[in-house]
Structure 1
Amino acid sequence: MEDVSTVSTVGERTRTRVRYFVLFMVFIVTTLNFADRATLSITGSTMQKELGLDSVQMGYLFSAFAWAYVLGQLPGGWLLDRFGTKRVYAWSIALWSFFTLLAGVVGALPAASVVGAFFLCRLMVGFAEAPAFPGNSRLVAAWFPTAERGTASAIFNSAQYFATVLFTPLMAYITHAHGWRSVYFVMGGLGLALAALWLFVIHEPKAHPRISRAELEYIERGGGLVSLEQGAAAKAPLQRGALKQLLANRMMMGIYVGQYCINTLTYFFLTWFPVYLVQERGMSILKAGFVSSLPAVAGFIGGVLGGVISDGLVRRGHSLTFARKTPIVAGMLMSTSMVVCNYVDSQWLVVAIMSLAFFGKGVGALGWAVMSDTSPKQIAGLSGGVFNTFGNMAGITTPIIIGYLLKQSGSFAAALVFVGANALLAIFCYLLVVGEIRRLELKPA
């Protein structure tokens, strides 16, 4: 194992800030990750009209990504633990980008074949993206001390909102000006270029050519797992019974179920929200694309603020449990405000309420910070995979349930109640199930 003394001695007494560049790269990649997930939410109305699809068929198309994404979580987490984050993540970016691009290619097939081929492409995008968020969690655990981990996790998690701000108007314009297939060509090409850049600039803490000894020691003293990618920690086989221990632990199960509820809000905004603006509120696809970015700006601000508040509470001496739970509970309470949209008519008032709900969702989206705090060191990737499996089951259920609610009622009223109820259930999980937040220690097999 490489010793701290082998790290570059440039600026040993001056603490570098290499970890912030690593976080920047994680943020950029996660932005693209969510933009590729959301392509169908922007192109969906045009596709639905062109291909003659009903709301239930669209619900299944929306959920295709999540079926494979969920199935890929445990294998993806194991691959991260076995082969390291850098290589596995690079392959993940390249593959999901390739299948995103391919979705545009199959769009040129005869209409009878497009839906099935497109569904398969979305499945493969989901499977390829599976290692991404467990990889993010591993990178944050390795590169950041505990007192900075909430902010770092909130920043990469807030990329989902930045993706909407940056790419939703762009994808709406491309759909309007060049057709829905062009969106997939552009997004796939961007991802392939980013995969090559990732391989060039990402390194583990002890092997990074620009990190100073002072920064490395600061990270390690503060609880950063700087050796996570090395030796036995990265190469160890899956411990017998490790998965069972995760699922039998009350704290972990409360976190897992809470993430499912929080992700129900995420997938509503990623899938049906632009359709809601077009079909329920009478906006054009171009206007909906731009309007969708406003709640996303609020979500981005809330996402960063939630992490800053949480880490600030840690630095002020509050327990990790209080520091993580307080923003989660407050944020989820704000998210329930979306139900008020059922009682207002003004388009801009709807956007304002949805912005408040999205802001609250951002504040409360600290699940990945909690994962970095609680995952057993030996199986950080697998633990993140289990967490993401539970969380992204919402990507399967949310679009389909909303599709059926729409078909039955003809409006989004019941759908908003369903999403708001999940915010309340997330509060229940963190207040009454999770208990003390601490790192889980695996028992010997």
Structure 2
Amino acid sequence: MTTTQQVKSPSVSSKSKSKFGVLALIFLSVVINYMDRTNISVAAQAISDDLELSKVQMGIIFSAFAWTYSIMQIPGGMLVDSVRIRLLYPFILVAWSAATIVQGLLSSFSAVVGCRMAIGFFEAPSYPANNKIVTQWFAEQERAGAIAVYTSGQFIGLAFLMPVLAIIQQWFGWRGLFFISGGIGIIWAGVWYLLYRDPVTQDETPAANGNKPDVNAQLSRHSAPSNDEQNTTPIASHAQATANWNNLKIAFSNRKLWGIYIGQFCLGGTLIFFLTWFPTYLAEYRGLSELNTGFVASIPFLAAFCGVLLSGFVSDWLVRKGVSNEVARKTPIILGLLLSSSVIFANYVESTQWVTFFLSVTFFGNGLASINWVFVSLIAPKHMVGLVGGCFNFIGGLSAVTVPIAIGYLAKDGDFKPALVLVACLALIGLCSYIFLVGKVEQIQMPDIDENGAVLPDTHDANTSSTSTSTGGA
């Protein structure tokens, strides 16, 4: 018994350290992910001039990424539930990075649109995968903080990258910008494969350690994932249930799920403005130079970074103190969406300082609300985390399909005021969705179903419910 305890304790300590290394990997992957999504916005004016494109055409280019990204969210979520993350993530990294490089070789509107669609196609499984990794590695009371950390990568990364990308473009042109961005992603894919390990890997054998089964059980209890979240030797009925069309029906018929879907769409409306049209807004409508645009554009991203970290860690702290999920999880999102609606005040000021202030408050609010991914694991049925994550990101991705094109039409005469009104309205709709549709934060219960649609006996421990806050105050 003493020997077993001596083996278990260091393993659990190692697990605790490893999960923060895993979080660092996700964070840097998100930075690269968003770099390849948004480098087009930095290059937009140069591409528009070089290829002689209109604002409506640029809106279509901005939107093209989301066409395939949205469509592939549900298949991507299913893929995440069935393929080992260690193999899947490097593959999609190489694929979207290669498409980014090819983007720098193109000279026609239709070819650029096609390339943006390819990038969206291969990036689609990334966020369901991120959420799955956090669900596997972190206990429920730690997940909002973990999600906040990796989500902050899209803000802090771009805050520092916006000026850097602007400088790269100034030195190497817009084509060089895509070559360098894509090359970084391919290198990172190799790093990911070398460093990442699933919580319990298939290549571990009992021969390596006589006490391995006991250690794995202890590690499983330490991170408190549900049974279906183990990425090895999955129970057949779980895999079958995930792919079953009955689950898809549940994913699109539940009121709570539609509450978070609509909220994600509206939250994405603000985000996509900053990821696509924001540099053009500063350069053309506010008259800033290309280099100044890069530096001014970084300030709202820093604000969003502060918002998402504040939201995540305060939310987890409240859960550990025994505060209900309705308060601990929903309050930051509701407050964040309310602050995001302040973008409309930028229409009534002239100075760059005040414009920057209101846009920073807007994006701070967007960051504050960006822990909304935590609701996927809190509300989704236990065996549908990947599928619901895919649906969640699919609906959210539709904002990236529609909002850039809508802004292109609204601003085609050079006036961005109607576009900012649109962004403010979306934020208020999202706020109402969380208040009136999501309701009480609790996990949706459903039975296991075999491939024929028959209900299987319930063999799950009720104590694994993600809605329980009993794990929060230790």
Same fold (TM over 0.5): yes
Secondary structure of residue in 2 paired with 1:105: coil
Residues 335 and 365, structure 2, Cα contact 8 Å, conserved in 1: yes
Pick from 424, 429, 441: which aligns with 1:425? 429
Aligned ranges 1:114-125 → 2 under 5 Å = 114-125=108-119
Going from structure 1 to structure 2, the CA distance change for 1:262 and 1:242 (only over 3 Å counts) comes to same
Going from structure 1 to structure 2, the CA distance change for 1:215 and 1:367 (only over 3 Å counts) comes to farther
CA distance in 2, matches of 1:373, 1:305: 20
Residue number in structure 1 paired with 2:198: 204
Residues 8 and 215, structure 2, Cα contact 8 Å, conserved in 1: no
* CA offset digits 1:166-203 (Å, max 9, x no partner): 22111111111211001110010000011111111111
Residue number in structure 1 paired with 2:93: 93
Pick from 151, 159, 170: which aligns with 1:165? 159
Residues 149 and 372, structure 1, Cα contact 8 Å, conserved in 2: no
1:382 maps onto 2:387 in alignment: yes
CA distance in 2, matches of 1:121, 1:13: 45
Secondary structure of residue in 2 paired with 1:232: coil
Aligned ranges 1:246-257 → 2 under 5 Å = 246-257=251-262
Going from structure 1 to structure 2, the CA distance change for 1:350 and 1:245 (only over 3 Å counts) comes to same
Secondary structure of residue in 1 paired with 2:425: helix
* CA offset digits 1:380-417 (Å, max 9, x no partner): 2211111100001000011000011112x531111111
CA distance in 2, matches of 1:215, 1:362: 36
Residue number in structure 2 paired with 1:187: 181
Q: Specify the code of the residue in structure 1 equivalent to 2:137.
A: W
Residues 333 and 423, structure 1, Cα contact 8 Å, conserved in 2: yes
Residue number in structure 2 paired with 1:42: 42
Residue number in structure 2 paired with 1:438: 442
Pick from 232, 235, 238: which aligns with 2:234? 232
CA distance in 1, matches of 2:213, 2:32: 30
Q: Specify the code of the residue in structure 2 equivalent to 1:307.
A: G
Aligned ranges 1:221-370 → 2 under 5 Å = 223-225=224-226, 227-232=229-234, 236-237=239-240, 238-370=243-375
CA apart distance, 1:262:
0.4
Identity of aligned residues (%): 36
Secondary structure of residue in 2 paired with 1:231: coil
CA distance in 2, matches of 1:145, 1:20: 13
The number of aligned residues is: 433
1:416 maps onto 2:410 in alignment: no
CA distance in 1, matches of 2:5, 2:38: 43
CA apart distance, 1:56:
0.5
Secondary structure of residue in 2 paired with 1:206: coil
Residues 56 and 405, structure 2, Cα contact 8 Å, conserved in 1: yes
Going from structure 1 to structure 2, the CA distance change for 1:282 and 1:244 (only over 3 Å counts) comes to same
Secondary structure of residue in 2 paired with 1:17: helix
CA distance in 2, matches of 1:333, 1:44: 30
* CA offset digits 1:345-372 (Å, max 9, x no partner): 1012111111111111101112211112
CA apart distance, 1:240:
3.4
Going from structure 1 to structure 2, the CA distance change for 1:350 and 1:229 (only over 3 Å counts) comes to same
Residues 8 and 218, structure 2, Cα contact 8 Å, conserved in 1: no
Q: Specify the code of the residue in structure 2 equivalent to 1:132.
A: S
Going from structure 1 to structure 2, the CA distance change for 1:321 and 1:58 (only over 3 Å counts) comes to same
Going from structure 1 to structure 2, the CA distance change for 1:7 and 1:71 (only over 3 Å counts) comes to farther
Structure 2: where are the runs of 5+ without partners? Answer: 205-211, 454-474
CA distance in 2, matches of 1:103, 1:13: 45
CA distance in 1, matches of 2:137, 2:282: 40
CA apart distance, 1:117:
1.3
Secondary structure of residue in 1 paired with 2:327: helix
* CA offset digits 1:30-81 (Å, max 9, x no partner): 1110111001100001111122211101100000100010111112111111
* CA offset digits 1:229-271 (Å, max 9, x no partner): 1223587131231000111111111111110000001100000
Going from structure 1 to structure 2, the CA distance change for 1:185 and 1:433 (only over 3 Å counts) comes to same
CA apart distance, 1:324:
0.9
Going from structure 1 to structure 2, the CA distance change for 1:8 and 1:34 (only over 3 Å counts) comes to farther
Moved more, 145-154 or 157-166: 157-166
Residues 332 and 426, structure 1, Cα contact 8 Å, conserved in 2: yes
Secondary structure of residue in 2 paired with 1:356: helix
CA distance in 2, matches of 1:331, 1:81: 31
Residue number in structure 2 paired with 1:102: 102
Moved more, 195-204 or 131-140: 195-204
Secondary structure of residue in 2 paired with 1:318: coil
**What TM-score does the superposition give when structure 1 sets the normalisation length?**
0.92
Going from structure 1 to structure 2, the CA distance change for 1:414 and 1:219 (only over 3 Å counts) comes to farther
Structure 1: where are the runs of 5+ without partners? Answer: none
Going from structure 1 to structure 2, the CA distance change for 1:434 and 1:187 (only over 3 Å counts) comes to same
Going from structure 1 to structure 2, the CA distance change for 1:102 and 1:370 (only over 3 Å counts) comes to same
CA distance in 2, matches of 1:305, 1:213: 37
Q: Specify the code of the residue in structure 1 equivalent to 2:112.
A: F
Residues 152 and 305, structure 2, Cα contact 8 Å, conserved in 1: yes
Secondary structure of residue in 2 paired with 1:248: coil
Q: Specify the code of the residue in structure 1 equivalent to 2:239.
A: A
Residue number in structure 1 paired with 2:127: 133
CA apart distance, 1:105:
2.0
RMSD: 2.3
* CA offset digits 1:249-307 (Å, max 9, x no partner): 11111111110000001100000011100011100111111111111011001111111
Going from structure 1 to structure 2, the CA distance change for 1:361 and 1:213 (only over 3 Å counts) comes to farther
Residues 242 and 442, structure 1, Cα contact 8 Å, conserved in 2: no
CA distance in 2, matches of 1:292, 1:37: 16
CA apart distance, 1:6:
13
CA distance in 1, matches of 2:348, 2:6: 61
Going from structure 1 to structure 2, the CA distance change for 1:379 and 1:92 (only over 3 Å counts) comes to same
Going from structure 1 to structure 2, the CA distance change for 1:48 and 1:213 (only over 3 Å counts) comes to farther
CA distance in 2, matches of 1:350, 1:89: 39
Moved more, 278-287 or 230-239: 230-239
1:78 maps onto 2:83 in alignment: no
Secondary structure of residue in 2 paired with 1:277: helix
